[in-house]
Amino acid sequence: MAEPPSGTLEPMNEFEQMYREVILDHYRNPRGHGAMDDPDAEAEGMNPLCGDEVTIFVSLAEDGETIDDVKFSGRGCAISQAATSMLTEMVKGRSATEVATLPKEELLEEIGIPLTPIRLKCALLGLGVLKVALHRAKGTPLPEEWAGLDDEFQVR
């Protein structure tokens, strides 16, 4: 197999680089950052490994089911903040029931770079808190893999 010409990146590296840039952009310019007055659903969670926190606010459309808006506040590493920012874009306009069962792989695909188990916790913090917020407000089930999440992420 021919070697790639010197100076060009392997395709995988180019993709990873692109994903890294998207992550940094979400970190520096988070979408949906801020608080919400009178949200329909709200939860706050902390990653006990580092103490970083995320609070998620959700407003529902008039049908009481469609996610109209999602905001988040908190502090944390680039991955946790960027992943939560991406999440706010992913779930707007979808139904609470659909988001309650959203597989974590969908968010991880969006992030697009391989993550160590510790980084995985960072990446899933926002999604976990969102699922708990919906669970509390709407009674949507916490899927098996998220059971015990209240402890895992010390959700309040």
The site for ligand FES (CB under 6 A) is made up of 47, 50, 52, 76-77, 79-80, 122, 125
Residue 67: closest CA among 38, 99, 33, 107:
99
Q: Which is nearer to ligand FES, 80 or 88 (CB)?
A: 80
Nearer to ligand FES by C-beta: 67 or 127? 127
Distances (CA, A) of 17 to 11, 98, 117, 146: 10, 31, 21, 31
What minimum distance in Å lies between the beta carbon of 140 and ligand FES?
24
The owner of tokens 């969908």 is 106
Q: Find the shortest distance in angstroms from Cβ 79 to ligand FES.
A: 6
The distance of closest approach from Cβ of residue 155 to ligand FES in the complex, given in angstroms and rounded to an integer, is 14
Strands 41-47 and 67-75: unpaired
Q: Which is nearer to ligand FES, 58 or 122 (CB)?
A: 122
Shortest Å distance, C-beta 75 to ligand FES: 9
Closest distance to ligand FES from the beta carbon of 94 (Å): 24
Amino acid at 83: A
Are the C-beta atoms of residues 64 and 74 closer than 8 Å to each other? no
Burial (CB count within 10 angstroms: exposed 0-12, middle 13-18, buried 19+), residue 50: middle
